[in-house]
Amino acid sequence: MSRPGAVPRLAVLASGEGSNLQALLDAGERGNLPGEITLVISDRDGAGALQRARTAGIQALHLPPQAHPSRGDYDRLLARSLADHGTDLVVLAGFMRILSDELVQSFAGRMLNIHPSLLPRHRGLHTHRRVLEAREAVHGATVHFVVPELDAGPAVLQYRCAVRPWDNEASLAASVRRGEHLIYPIAVKWFCQGRLRCRDDHVLLDDQPLRAPAVLTRDGAMALAAPPI
C-alpha cells in the first residue's frame, strides 16, 4: 500500500449496471471489506454504476471518451484521477475499454478484473454463448490481476458452476453474475488485508504461491488447490 497502515483506497471502473460495484458496497456495509471505495469512474454517462456510487455518497466521475479520442490522452486523464484520489487498488468491474499498457503497468499488482468465464477459457466477449456452443459442462467467473494482454493476467479466484441441461445464455449469465458477486468481494478483501499480492506475474496468498486459482463452487465450498477443469 502506498501509505503503510492506512485503509486502502479503492477506485472502481465500470461501464454498465454496476452490480459488482454494488456487491463490493454491500460487503463494505456488512463490515466485510477492509478498504474504502473513494471513486467510481465510468466512460458511459448512463451507467448504473455511477448512480449506485452517488446513492452511496461516493464520488462518481463520468469521463467521456469522445472528449479524448486518443487512448493515450484518455488514459492519462484516468491516471490523473486515480492518482488524485490516492488510489491503492483499481477494481475493473465491467469497464468496457481496453487500457493502455502504460496505465496497466503503472498499477502492476494493484489492478484487478473480473471476467465471466473460467480463464484461460473464453477470453473476450460472449462467453456464455461460447460455453453453450462448445457444450461445456462447467462455467463460471475469474478474478485476476490485470496485465497488458487482455484477460491474460494471473488468476486469483474462480467461481465454478455446472452448466445445467436447461441453461440458455440468459440463465447462465445470471448464475455466473451471482457467483461474481460472491468472489469479487472476497478477492478485494484479501488484497485489502495484505494477504493477496502479485509478484512477477505470480499470485501469492498469505505469502504462498497460488499454483492455480482458488475456487468457490455453487454450494459455497472454497478450495485453494482445486483440480483443473
Residues 6+ positions from 40 with CB-CB distance below 8 Å: 11, 12, 13, 14, 18, 21, 49, 50, 52, 53, 58, 59, 60, 61
* Closest residue to bound ligand GRF by CB: 94
Taking CB under 6 A as the criterion, which residues in 170-209 touch ligand GRF? 177, 180
Rounded-to-5 percentages of helix, strand, coil across the chain: 30, 25, 45
180 burial via Cβ count (<10 Å: 0-12, 13-18, 19+): buried
- Given the complex with ligand GRF, which of 50 and 103 has the nearer CB atom? 50
Closest to 17 in 3D by CA, of 169, 177, 160, 186: 177
CB of 105 to ligand GRF, least distance (A): 21
Binding mask 1-40 for ligand GRF (x = CB under 6 A): -------------x-xxxxx--------------------
Contact predicate 8/1, CB 8 Å: yes
CB of 208 to ligand GRF, least distance (A): 27
Binding mask 81-120 for ligand GRF (x = CB under 6 A): ------------xx-------------------xxx----
Active-site residue identified among 115, 128, 144, 181: 115
Q: Compute the distance between CA of residue 14 and CA of residue 160 in angstroms, rounded to an integer.
A: 23
Count interface residues toward ligand GRF (CB under 6 A).
Answer: 14
Per DSSP, which regions of 78-184 are E strands?
A: 89-92, 111-115, 138-145, 155-162
CB of 207 to ligand GRF, least distance (A): 28
Determine whether 144 is an active site residue. Answer: no
Contact predicate 142/158, CB 8 Å: yes
Contact predicate 116/129, CB 8 Å: no
65 near ligand GRF, rule: CB under 6 A: no
- Given the complex with ligand GRF, which of 17 and 136 has the nearer CB atom? 17
- Given the complex with ligand GRF, which of 1 and 51 has the nearer CB atom? 51
- Given the complex with ligand GRF, which of 70 and 171 has the nearer CB atom? 171
Q: Are strands 202-205 and 208-209 parallel, antiparallel or unpaired?
A: antiparallel
- Given the complex with ligand GRF, which of 16 and 34 has the nearer CB atom? 16
CB of 128 to ligand GRF, least distance (A): 9
Q: Which set of grid coordinates corresponds to residue 139?
A: 462455467
Active site residues: 115
Which residues of the shown chain bind ligand GRF in the complex (CB under 6 A)?
Answer: 14, 16-20, 93-94, 114-116, 141, 177, 180
